[in-house]
Amino acid sequence: MARRSDHAPEELKRLALEAAEVIALEEGLRGLTVRRVAERIGYAPGTIYNLFANLDDLIVQLNGMTLDALAVELGAAAGGSPATRPQRLVEAYFDFVESRPRLWSLLFEHRLPEGADLPDWYRPKLAALIGLVAEALEPLMPDRSAEARYAATVTMWAGLHGISTLAVSAKLTLVAETEPRQLGHLLVDRMLGNRDGTGPEPV
């Protein structure tokens, strides 16, 4: 078993977050405990509490890493021709969700205890992610103000989240036989005012 002196605190924190990510990928929120994370990295649970305030703190930081990873994927999809950006962004979003559904679900399943607040860095990170997409779609919403573009992007995010949640939980087929990605493209096309649709035709 590793000893505390084997790793510097920052390295140990990184190892703990990586271990938590693996557990979340495999089992989701229900599998995440301080003891499980500690066992994965060969340390006592008390060591984890020296690195994080509690399990909620660890999960929030893990969710921050997930937002960073999603930002990388959406940022890569946001380049190229503006005309095809919406389709690339929708595809990148669903690729991300489908490749790590439990980790993505953790973003929305985890709830802080009553009275606890998210850390100061979390909301700006999420706002920056939405702002990245709003900026990428700006050429397709030339007549809308920055506030209106941001609001439209938040609405699209919420809609895609709803579709993804139904799909991940295998509940989408209860209300539609359409593929999740097709619904996503349809939603984004309509939000951008493209009544004819530029994405794949819905079934």
- Give domain limits for the chain: 1-52, 55-203
Whether 16 and 52 have beta carbons less than 8 Å apart is answered as yes
| CATH superfamily assigned to domain 1-52 | Homeodomain-like (1.10.10.60)
Supply the pLDDT for residue 5: 54
Q: What is the pLDDT along the chain (203 residues), one digit of tens a residue?
A: 444 457 788 999 999 999 999 999 999 999 999 999 999 999 999 999 999 999 999 999 999 999 999 999 999 999 999 999 999 999 999 999 999 999 999 999 999 999 999 999 999 999 999 999 999 999 999 999 999 999 999 999 999 999 999 999 888 888 888 899 999 999 999 999 864 444 443 33
Q: What residues contact residue 96 under an 8 Å CB cut-off, 6+ apart?
A: 69, 70, 73, 104
Q: Does domain 55-203 have CATH number 1.10.357.10?
A: yes
Res 199: pLDDT: 43
Of the candidates 32, 27, 63, the one whose C-alpha atom is nearest the C-alpha of residue 48 is: 32
pLDDT of residue 132: 96
Evaluate if pTM is beyond 0.85.
yes
Token pair, residue 58, equals 């660890």
pLDDT at 200: 41
Give the pLDDT score at 1.
Answer: 44
Q: Are 107 and 63 spatial neighbours (Cβ–Cβ below 8 Å)?
A: yes
